[in-house]
Amino acid sequence: MKNMKSQSQGGFLMAKIRQVGGRISERMLKDFGIEINSAQGRIMFALWKQDGIAINELAQKTQLKKSTLTSMLDRLEKMGYVRRQRCTKDRRKILIKRTNKDKNLESQYVELSQEITKLYYKGFSKTEIDHFESNLARILNNLTDFEAEHK
């Protein structure tokens, strides 16, 4: 039987970081007076980078399943942060657009994201951060490639 200490713990550590980080993020969202949750924030963050994108593209950018994304968009639309609009070039395509209410949220969320980033990288050098993020991108690519091959 293999010794547990000799096994890689990367996946386990990422899961634990996600749990603890999620709890902290939700607490900080409340402290900042932001009414959306972190998963909804991921959707908004993608829209801040590119407004007016199709649901399929938004699903890809956020790594959310289309069914999950649709229900989250329903809630964000009811809250007044996004709206759906038919594409003028292709009437079958629905675009997700930002609203005026979203403009204030963006500045608050950016400030919160900076605080969370400081917490995550406390004690790390710029080189360590770059190396770490490069490795995370490689892991994500491995997983998305595997997922695409096994659909």
φ, ψ of residue 83 in degrees (nearest 5): -140, 150
Is position 131 within any domain? no
Is position 96 within any domain? yes
CA 132 to each of CA 2, 40, 146: distance values in angstroms, whole numbers, following the listed order: 28, 25, 21
Is position 144 within any domain? no
pTM exceeding 0.85: no
Please determine, for residue 1, whether its predicted confidence score (pLDDT) is greater than 50. no
Is position 7 within any domain? no
pLDDT digits (tens, 9 = 90+) for 35-47: 898 889 889 999 9
CATH code, 16: 1.10.10.10
Number of domains present in the structure of the chain: 1
Residues 59 and 65: beta-carbon distance below 8 Å? yes
Please determine, for residue 141, whether its predicted confidence score (pLDDT) is greater than 50. yes
Range of the domain at 99: 12-120
pLDDT digits (tens, 9 = 90+) for 84-136: 999 888 888 899 999 988 877 888 888 998 999 999 999 999 999 999 999 99
Q: Where are the beta strands (DSSP E) in 82-148?
A: 82-86, 94-98
Is position 73 within any domain? yes
Is position 132 within any domain? no
Is position 149 within any domain? no
